[in-house]
């Protein structure tokens, strides 16, 4: 079952002089098992939209249906929050327990699960983010590195066994290794467990190599949509929207100007290597 | 401009041992340099930066800013005025409800006369390209614009050096471009010394010198071309090289004769053309 966003508009502080419309007539279907990237400049409505996906915000107009259930129905909101896990920006700021195990187990414990079940969930969730429960469980979350803290925070959401995982810039401020670890784990969760992942990111390089489909928000509307390989061919349009294209795609555009016939729909360094070699070989240079 | 002599810094963690974040760092940064500092989280980058304007003091060794020892409290104001700092989150650095008032905050506190403040504010806003927003409310600006206002606020103090601690970490691609281009211009046109901490390798490429930190020590120090040619070593340190550099290295491994340390798309296109004309 999908998440369906139907004609959704959202206004902050409606009816006051401070009213600000953040979403305008958004239509979007997120299919189960999909890895979706959500991009757009600051203030484009990304954060407002993702808070609609688990009912933290409900539309001023239109509706959001999670597996067919309307998020405006108060009685089902709890079930929806469990189904759609939301990881905020800098989620490690929300760690608060004495130990990693307690922090990750907080949600499951609130569900009224037995201690054995909680423990099982904690182990499972920590393993999903590449942390060994025996080693990390007893430690204070505040003694960990920035990347580890963030993974613990993500584990806290995974411990609720969501079907959909929504992450708001999960790699902001992390070093390259921390970033690669988290993105690698997300790709793995998506592939191995079929988890639906919705990733908000400012890194065109990251979304290029990870997601199945990209949605571009601009001033509260869906401004463009498509597979990364197709969308990143529209460089001028993306730049106008305050975004860009991956460095490697930009390079291939320049390369093709001097080497007509070279492909420009390249998303990774590996693909670029093969394309350049193919091109040089064809001309008898390699 | 900055001279670090055998600087160590230990954070007091209340356990009597503490954590050593800098270990015997000696480093000299000349006036007018643009130095990028990279390293994984916890490598000591931010601790290093905070020593440059006496936000932190060395546990051992000493730091001289224009010859002034940061441990001398009498030097504090002069040091902070010559080396201004910009942080990651622009929202934590903006204090006023109008852009020009925010930029005026620093010089006002220094007791600068009103007419001179006016001149400095106008000049600082012009340098960061934000003059037209001088009466705007900061919270209505984009992340990149807010960060440029934070930079203008520091510039109004007329510093000789600007220390930026991951100023683009929270920005979208266009905000990142805006801030980086502003910093490059400050260095080239205004001659301001720049110390720029970042996790984005493609930003570090724009500096004249890259300092790589690991475990509280400086492990590599040189022009970007030399530092990024050592891709394997950087990866071992949990870092990265720009995608174009990675591509050039991968092509070399596959037998295409290219020079080491290619940093930009223009360079790689030119080198590939040269390669073709020679084979």
pLDDT of residue B90: 75
pLDDT in tens, B142-183: 778 888 888 888 888 888 999 999 988 877 888 888 889 889
In the sheet where A69-70 sits, what is the strand order? Answer: A20-30, A3-12, A61-66, A69-70
pLDDT in tens, B42-87: 889 989 999 999 999 999 999 999 999 999 888 888 898 899 888 8
Least CB-CB distance to A243: which of B169, B170, B173?
B173
Q: Cβ B202–A247 below 8 Å, yes or no?
A: yes
This complex has an ipTM of: 0.79
Q: Quick check: B273 contacting A, CB < 8 Å? A: yes
* Contact in structure between B120 and B158 (CB atoms under 8 Å): yes
Reading the block at residue B79, the tokens are: 């040091």
Q: Which B residues, 184 through 223, put their C-beta within 8 Å of a C-beta on chain A?
A: 199, 201-202
Long-range contacts at B104-113 (CB < 8 A, ≥ 24 apart): B104/B156, B105/B153, B106/B153, B106/B154, B106/B156, B106/B157, B107/B156, B107/B157, B110/B81, B110/B157
Residues of chain B contacting residue A279, judged by C-beta atoms under 8 Å apart:
none
Q: Quick check: B254 contacting A, CB < 8 Å? A: yes
What residues does A4 pair with on adjacent strands?
A29, A65
For B12-98, where are the E strands, in sequence order? 19-29, 34-38, 60-65, 68-69, 83-86
pLDDT of residue B17: 65
Least CB-CB distance to A247: which of B242, B250, B266?
B242
Q: Quick check: B256 contacting A, CB < 8 Å? A: yes
Q: Quick check: B135 contacting A, CB < 8 Å? A: no
pLDDT of residue A78: 87
Which of B51, B53, B67, B42 has the alpha carbon at shortest distance from B6? B51
In the sheet where B217-222 sits, what is the strand order? Answer: B83-86, B161-165, B193-197, B34-38, B209-214, B217-222
Does residue A217 sit in helix, strand or coil?
A: strand
Q: Quick check: A133 contacting B, CB < 8 Å? A: no
pLDDT of residue B34: 97
Does residue A266 sit in helix, strand or coil?
A: coil
Give Cα separations from A182 to A146, A172, A174, A176, B209 (angstroms): 12, 11, 10, 10, 30
Does residue A265 sit in helix, strand or coil?
A: coil
Residues of chain A contacting residue B247, judged by C-beta atoms under 8 Å apart:
248, 251, 269, 272-273, 276
pLDDT tens, N- to C-terminus, chain A (286 residues): 899 999 999 999 888 887 889 999 999 999 999 999 999 988 889 999 999 999 999 999 999 999 999 999 988 888 899 999 999 988 888 888 899 999 999 999 998 899 999 999 999 999 999 899 999 999 999 888 888 899 999 999 999 999 999 999 999 888 888 889 899 999 999 999 899 999 999 999 999 999 999 999 999 999 999 999 999 999 999 999 989 899 999 999 999 988 888 899 999 999 999 999 988 888 776 6
Residues of chain B contacting residue A254, judged by C-beta atoms under 8 Å apart:
265-266, 269
Give Cα separations from B220 to A35, B235, B237, B241 (angstroms): 38, 13, 11, 14
Radius of gyration over alpha carbons of chain B, in Å? 20
Least CB-CB distance to B247: which of A178, A205, A273?
A273
Average pLDDT on B220-234 reads: 91
Q: Quick check: A61 contacting B, CB < 8 Å? A: no
Q: Cβ B174–A177 below 8 Å, yes or no?
A: no
pLDDT of residue B13: 67
Q: Measure A145 CA to nearest chain B CA, in Å.
A: 7
Q: Cβ A277–B254 below 8 Å, yes or no?
A: yes
Q: Which A residues, 196 through 255, put their C-beta within 8 Å of a C-beta on chain B?
A: 202, 204-205, 239, 242-244, 246-248, 250-251, 254-255
């Amino acid at each position: 079952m999908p998440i369906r966003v139907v004609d959704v508009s959202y206004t902050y502080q409606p009816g006051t002089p401070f009213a600000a419309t953040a979403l305008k007539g958004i239509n979007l279907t997120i299919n189960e098992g999909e890895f979706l990237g959500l991009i757009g400049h600051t203030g484009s409505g990304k954060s407002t939209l993702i808070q609609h996906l688990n009912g933290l915000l409900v539309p001023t107009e239109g509706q959001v249906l999670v597996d067919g259930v309307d998020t405006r129905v108060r009685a089902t909101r709890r079930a929806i929050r469990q189904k759609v896990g939301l990881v905020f920006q800098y989620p490690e700021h929300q760690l608060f327990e004495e130990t990693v195990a307690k922090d990750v187990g907080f949600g499951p414990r609130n569900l009224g699960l037995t201690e054995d079940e909680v423990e099982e969930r904690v182990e499972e969730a920590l393993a999903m983010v590449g942390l060994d429960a025996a080693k990390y469980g007893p430690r204070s979350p505040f003694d960990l590195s920035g990347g580890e803290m963030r993974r613990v925070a993500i584990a806290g959401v995974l411990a609720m066994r969501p079907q959909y995982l929504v992450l708001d810039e999960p790699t902001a401020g992390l070093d390259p290794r921390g970033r690669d670890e988290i993105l690698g784990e997300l790709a793995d969760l998506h592939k191995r467990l079929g988890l639906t992942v919705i990733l908000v990111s400012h890194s065109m390089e990251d979304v290029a190599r990870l997601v199945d489909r990209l949605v571009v928000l601009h001033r509260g509307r869906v401004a463009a949509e498509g597979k990364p390989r197709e969308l990143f061919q529209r460089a001028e349009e993306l730049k106008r929207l305050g975004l860009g294209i991956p460095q490697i795609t930009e390079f291939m555009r320049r390369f093709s100007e001097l080497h007509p016939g070279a492909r420009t729909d390249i998303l990774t360094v590996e693909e670029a290597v093969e394309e350049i070699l193919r091109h040089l070989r064809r001309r008898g240079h390699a | 401009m900055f001279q670090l002599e055998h600087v160590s810094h230990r954070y007091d963690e209340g356990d009597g041992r503490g954590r050593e974040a800098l270990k015997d760092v000696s480093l000299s940064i000349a006036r007018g340099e643009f130095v990028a500092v990279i390293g994984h989280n916890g490598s000591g980058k931010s601790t290093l930066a905070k020593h440059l304007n006496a936000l932190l003091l060395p546990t051992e060794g000493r730091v001289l800013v224009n010859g002034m020892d940061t441990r001398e409290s009498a030097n504090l104001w002069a040091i902070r005025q010559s080396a201004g700092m910009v942080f990651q989150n622009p929202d934590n650095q903006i204090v006023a409800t109008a852009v020009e008032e925010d930029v005026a905050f620093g010089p006002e506190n220094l007791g600068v006369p009103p007419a001179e403040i006016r001149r400095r504010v106008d000049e600082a806003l012009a340098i960061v390209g934000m003059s037209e927003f001088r009466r705007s409310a900061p919270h209505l600006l984009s992340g990149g614009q807010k960060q440029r206002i934070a930079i203008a606020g520091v510039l109004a103090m007329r510093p000789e050096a600007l220390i930026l601690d991951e100023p683009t970490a929270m920005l979208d691609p266009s905000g990142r471009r805006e801030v980086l281009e502003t910093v490059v211009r400050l260095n080239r046109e205004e001659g301001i010394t720049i110390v720029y901490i970042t996790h984005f390798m493609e930003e570090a490429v724009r500096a004249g010198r890259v300092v790589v930190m690991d475990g509280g020590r400086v492990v590599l120090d040189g022009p970007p071309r030399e530092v990024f040619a050592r891709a394997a070593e950087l990866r071992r340190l949990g870092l990265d090289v720009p995608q174009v550099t990675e591509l050039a290295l991968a092509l070399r491994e596959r037998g295409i004769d290219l020079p080491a340390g290619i940093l930009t798309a223009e360079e790689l296109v030119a080198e590939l053309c040269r390669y073709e004309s020679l084979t």
